[in-house]
A and B are shown apart, each in its own frame.
Chain A
Amino acid sequence: MDKPIVDIKDPVLRIENLHVSYDGIKNSVTDVSASVKKHAITAIMGPSGCGKSTLLRAINRMHDLYPQIKTTGKIFLNGDDISSISNIVLRRKIGMVFQRPNPFPTMSIYDNVIAGYKLNGFSLKKHERDEIVEKSLTDVSLWNEVKDALNKKGTFLSGGQQQRLCIARALAFQPDVILLDEPTSALDPIATAKIEDLLLELKDKYSIVLVTHNMAQAARISNFSMFMYLGELVEYGRTKDMFTKPVDKRTEEYLTGKFG
């Protein structure tokens, strides 16, 4: 392989020759192959429209919602082909956090955290639910801020708190992987810093894939970085290496601010 792509042992995710097309003609993601390290933060960078979100959404098969989107190639989660797992089970093992904080506005903070259980029809005892809510909210350092307002609507929280609530919602199922799609792009710098600290804590227990258009963020918190350009995975390596001595000329130009 001539592309500068790092080799990862015992990966949590393995992507093989992934193509995604929105119209059946033009590929938004072209022939991406890569493995994602367990219990680490992997950042996907690139200019807007480079296919980084499209790649991310292929991992939990979000594209299945839109029949016009064609996906080919294979993705393995802990060695299992995800196309052999039902969407229901797959998405329970892979949590997702979106660009804009999107707590369910009709549900309380409490119900938002256990929404995954509710939506999947699990009947839990009250003390089990309480435990999950407290643990998930503690994991995202939100418990102390909201423990007296659990029955309030999640939409009353600040943007940063809402986004942490959404992360708690994704964590409640104890997923193997958490996908984050530019989770701080709608937040102020202080809220962003809190989310970044949180992700650094979470990587001990979860494998995190983070799409970001913010190079500095990738440099600050990720262990591995992918650089995508025009649907192609141009370069993939340890973040330290990539930022200090990028191999591909396009990566270098992007990192030095020549485009993006």
Chain B
Amino acid sequence: MKSEKLTKVILFLSSLTILLVASGMIYSLAGGSVLAFKTFGIKFIYTSVWNPTEGSENYGALAFIAGTIITSVFALLVCLPLALSTALFIGEYYRDKPVSRIVGTMVDLLAGIPSIVYGLWGFYVLRPLIVDLGLSPQGYGIFTSGIVLAIMIIPYATSISTEIIKMVPNDLKEAAYSLGATRLEVITNVLIPNARSGIFASFILAFGRALGETMAVTMLIGNANVVPESLFATGNTMASVIANQFGEADGLKLSSLIAIGLLLFIITALINAAGKFIIKRFS
């Protein structure tokens, strides 16, 4: 009896550690950003200066917040038709066929490629292509990094969508077929409406992934600390400015980078919580 109680106590105490780590993270990020917020106030969030010159140091996160959201939204828009088609391919058109297993494995492989390898591929293969097409003189920018991001998040958007599409009961589809619907009509009127919250949630989670991606974006976005003016302009994201500027940072600059980390943490946590909430309510 005594040992049973002890076991339960050990299990409970272990579970506390993850809560401690999580709350410690918030505490440390908040603590580290105090200096930045004290110096710049709430203005830190909506100004876009980034001036590390000693004596006139001035930092604002707007350029990075804007860059993060623009690249991620663009990546999501590119990813959407691709991931949805692939989910339909695996989960509906070629369900349980060998070809869908091959496609599924290939999509899984995409998730296994490290971010830095995506960055290299984008730098050496995609970027020259974009220069050749005359889309941008150097090939860096929102567009390039957005395309690579889109490829990176495809497996996250696809895998959950596929599962949800497979879960739509067969007799609903058959009911629609028995009324004379074509497969396309079954997909648009029965399959997608029944799977929509799950599909929506999977894209939210994929969006959360895109927001936090660092290496591939750093290597492709051009690292310009300004609010991007067009799809082909250079910019910077919250994750990549931390990676880029961290090495030489201390004092106010370090605090500003930590503050950006805190903002990124909050945004991704909210996005992920929303995605999980939708999935939970759905299932």
Q: Which residues of A contact B169 (CB under 8 A)?
A: 102
Q: Among residues 145 to 186 in chain A, which have CB atoms less than 8 Å away from a CB atom of chain B? A: 166, 169-170, 173, 179
- Using A62-B174, A98-B171, A98-B174 as known contacts, say yes or no to A106 and B179 having CB atoms under 8 A apart: no
Quick one: which of A60, A100, A104, A170 contacts B190, CB cutoff 8 A? A104
B residues within 8 A CB of A88? 180-182
Measured CB to CB, the closest approach of chain B to A132, in angstroms, equals: 13
Do B180 and A87 touch (CB < 8 A)? yes
Q: Mark B174-199, 1 if CB is under 8 A from A, else 0.
A: 11111111100110011001101000
Nearest CB in chain B to that of A107: its residue: B193
Residue of B nearest to A101 (CB): B171
B96 to chain A, nearest CB (A): 10
A1 within 8 A of B: no
Q: Contacts of B172 on A, CB cut-off 8 Å?
A: 102, 104-105
- Does A89 reach chain B (CB closer than 8 Å)? yes
Q: In the bound complex, what is the Cα–Cα distance between A102 and B211 (angstroms)?
A: 40
Asked if B180 and A65 make an inter-chain contact with CB atoms under 8 angstroms apart, the answer reads: no
Supposing A102-B171, A102-B172, A104-B190 touch, asked if A119 and B181 sit within 8 A by C-beta, the answer is: yes
Determine how close the nearest CB of chain B comes to the CB of A122; give it in whole angstroms. 10
Q: CB of A91 within 8 A of chain B?
A: yes
A116 is an interface residue with CB less than 8 A from chain B? yes
User: What distance in Å separates the Cβ of A56 from its nearest Cβ neighbour in chain B?
Assistant: 11
Once the chains are docked, how many angstroms separate the CA of A85 from the CA of B11?
A: 66
A92 close to chain B: CB less than 8 A = yes
Closest to A65 in B: B177
Establish whether residues B189 and A119, one from each chain, have CB atoms under 8 Å apart when the complex forms: yes
Q: What total of chain B residues lie within 8 Å of the partner, measured CB to CB?
A: 19
Q: How far apart are B188's CB and chain A's nearest CB, in angstroms?
A: 9
How many inter-chain residue pairs (CB < 8 Å) link A and B?
75
Q: How far is the CB of A223 from chain B (nearest CB, A)?
A: 24
In the complex, whether A120 has a CB less than 8 A from a CB of chain B is: yes
Residues of B within 8 A of A166 (CB): 175
Which residues does chain B contribute within 8 Å of A90, judged by CB atoms? 180
Report B233 CB to chain A, min CB distance, Å.
Answer: 41
Residues of B within 8 A of A179 (CB): 178
> With a CB–CB cut-off of 8 A, which chain A residues contact B178?
60, 62, 91, 94-96, 98, 170, 179
Given the interface pairs A88-B180, A120-B180, the reply to whether A98 lies near B194 with Cβ below 8 Å is no
The 8 Å CB contact of A91, one of B180, B189, B194, is B180
Question: Given the known A-B contacts A104-B190, A106-B194, are A120 and B181 also in contact in the complex, defined by CB atoms under 8 Å?
Answer: yes
User: Does A62 lie within 8 Å of B177, measured CB to CB?
Assistant: yes
Asked if A118 is at the interface of the complex by the 8 Å CB criterion, the answer is: yes
Report the separation of the CA atoms of residues A90 and B193 in the bound assembly, to the nearest whole angstrom: 25
Closest-CB distance, B95 to chain A (whole angstroms): 11
Given the complex, which residues of A lie within 8 Å of B177, measured CB to CB?
62, 65, 87, 91
Residue of A nearest to B179 (CB): A116
Assuming the contacts A98-B171, A118-B189, asked whether A104 and B176 have C-beta atoms less than 8 A apart, the reply is yes
- Asked if A40 is at the interface (CB within 8 A of a chain B CB), the reply is no
Interface set of B (CB-CB < 8 Å, partner A): 169, 171-172, 174-182, 185-186, 189-190, 193-194, 196
Using CB atoms and an 8 Å cutoff, list the residues of chain A in contact with chain B: 60, 62, 65, 87-92, 94-96, 98-100, 102, 104-107, 115-116, 118-121, 166, 169-170, 173, 179
